[in-house]
């Protein structure tokens, strides 16, 4: 019988992989969410955090052309673009002046024409123009791709970008850390071990990172459990992960949907289970788990804040990846704060490194 007491006792005795898979498969999502919420309240009380950030994609040109992706355009496509360093610097300056953003989240596709000098010019130019801004991005996947194009080691790329102004590596590219899933959803991207290696290298050169998981496509419960356990081991080893962000797969405009490999988005009960099992596995090893409203929608995000999540990630001004996949949600500091308040939490603005906390008052 999978009730709250049963789940509590399994978790208190140390959750094995087989336990976690069994709970995920057999327990009602409400039961898992209740126990996950109890743990979250012990870890971070009733606070919910998020950063005020702007998202800028330097280029949508990508030669990886993953079946999960609606964002990329092939080289020479009429909608393909590369933003100049000055364009990016101007956009950050404007976002700081108009919205008071504290973070630049910068990512893009695998564009073989870009050089390391381009990224150095972007990062150092942003820091010169707006010194208060914390720069988050690229992902380990981009680091791996560009290291191969530039014939450098990934560690060397990380070190050079850090000197240029990079503060935090974003958590993308992890998808699901299992090769049998990756060969279908991202066949031309790096393998799971390389994602883990580059995360560790980032921690070793003094960069913090986020960690993500893309769920709701072809994965099975054991893939979710193995992924979260791999992130937990990484954190136990290095302590460099700032937060864990499960990202719901949005299938619209992707080849996975067109080819009939997925039929549509996962149901909300599945989202709740994913967040809850993540908290049951991670406990306090990673304090903050993100409710990624840009892919779940804001209504579901508030439920996730009672299911193990305790961070709303960011205002994400100008986010494009989910928009290309058909989602058109926008938000503000006040709206994210009210989502937290609606479920009895106190909203706090944080910086990327989770240092400053300023309560957002009604
Ligand atoms: S997910 Fe990333 S690597 Fe894959 S096609 Fe999209 S931009 Fe390129």
Could you report the per-residue pLDDT of 223-248, keeping only the tens digit for each? Answer: 999 999 999 999 999 999 999 999 99
pLDDT surpasses 60 at 322: no
State the residue range of the domain holding 345.
Answer: 4-356
Task: Confirm whether 361 is domain-assigned.
Answer: no
- Give the chain's domain count: 1
Whether residue 66 has its Cβ less than 6 Å from ligand 1:
yes
- pTM for this prediction: 0.96
Pocket test for ligand 1, best of 72, 181, 191 (most atoms within 8 A of CB): 72
Q: Ligand 1: which atom is nearest the Cα of residue 65?
A: 5
Task: Give me the CATH number covering residue 261.
Answer: 3.20.20.70
Centroid of ligand 1 to alpha carbon of 111 (angstroms): 10
Mean pLDDT of 146-158: 98
Whether residue 157 has its Cβ less than 6 Å from ligand 1:
no
Whether residue 145 has its Cβ less than 6 Å from ligand 1:
no
Q: Radius of gyration of the chain from Cα atoms?
A: 19
Mean pLDDT of 96-112: 95
Task: Confirm whether 362 is domain-assigned.
Answer: no
The overall longest dimension of the chain from CA atoms, in Å, is 61
pLDDT band for position 1 (50/70/90)? confident
What's residue 326's pLDDT?
58
φ/ψ of residue 266, rounded to 5: -65, 150
What's residue 304's pLDDT?
98
Q: Residue 289 CB: number of other CB atoms within 10 A? A: 27
- Whole-angstrom Cα distance, residue 83 to residue 78? 15
């Amino acid at each position: 019988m999978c009730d709250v007491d049963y789940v509590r006792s399994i978790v208190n005795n140390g959750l094995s992989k087989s336990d976690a898979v069994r709970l995920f498969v057999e327990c009602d999502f409400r039961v898992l969410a209740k126990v996950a919420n109890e743990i979250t309240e012990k870890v971070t009380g009733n606070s919910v955090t998020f950063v005020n950030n702007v998202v800028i994609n330097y280029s949508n040109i990508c030669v990886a052309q993953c079946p999960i992706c609606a964002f990329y355009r092939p080289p020479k496509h009429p909608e393909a673009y590369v933003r100049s360093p000055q364009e990016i610097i101007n956009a950050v300056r404007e976002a700081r002046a108009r919205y008071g953003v504290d973070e630049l989240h910068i990512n893009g596709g695998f564009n073989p024409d870009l050089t390391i000098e381009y990224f150095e010019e972007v990062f150092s130019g942003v820091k010169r123009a707006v010194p208060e801004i914390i720069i988050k991005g690229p992902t380990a996947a981009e680091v791996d791709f560009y290291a191969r194009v530039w014939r450098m080691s990934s560690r060397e790329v990380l070190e050079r970008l850090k000197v240029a102004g990079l503060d935090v590596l974003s958590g993308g590219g992890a998808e699901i850390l299992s090769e049998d899933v990756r060969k279908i959803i991202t066949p031309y991207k790096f393998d799971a071990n390389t994602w883990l290696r580059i995360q560790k290298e980032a921690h070793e050169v003094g960069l913090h990172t986020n960690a993500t998981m893309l769920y709701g496509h072809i994965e099975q419960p054991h893939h979710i459990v193995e992924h979260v356990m791999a992130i937990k081991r990484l954190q136990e080893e290095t302590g460099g992960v700032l937060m864990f962000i499960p990202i719901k797969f949005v299938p619209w405009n992707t080849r996975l949907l067109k080819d009939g490999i997925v039929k549509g988005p996962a149901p909300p009960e599945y989202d709740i289970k994913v967040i809850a099992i993540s908290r049951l596995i991670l406990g306090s090893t990673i304090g903050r788990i993100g409710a990624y409203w840009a892919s779940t929608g804001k209504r579901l995000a508030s439920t996730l804040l009672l299911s193990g999540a305790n961070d709303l990630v960011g205002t994400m001004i100008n986010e494009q990846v989910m928009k290309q996949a058909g989602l058109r949600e926008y938000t503000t500091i006040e709206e994210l704060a009210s989502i937290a308040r609606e479920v009895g939490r106190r909203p706090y603005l944080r910086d990327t490194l989770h240092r400053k906390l300023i309560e957002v008052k009604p």
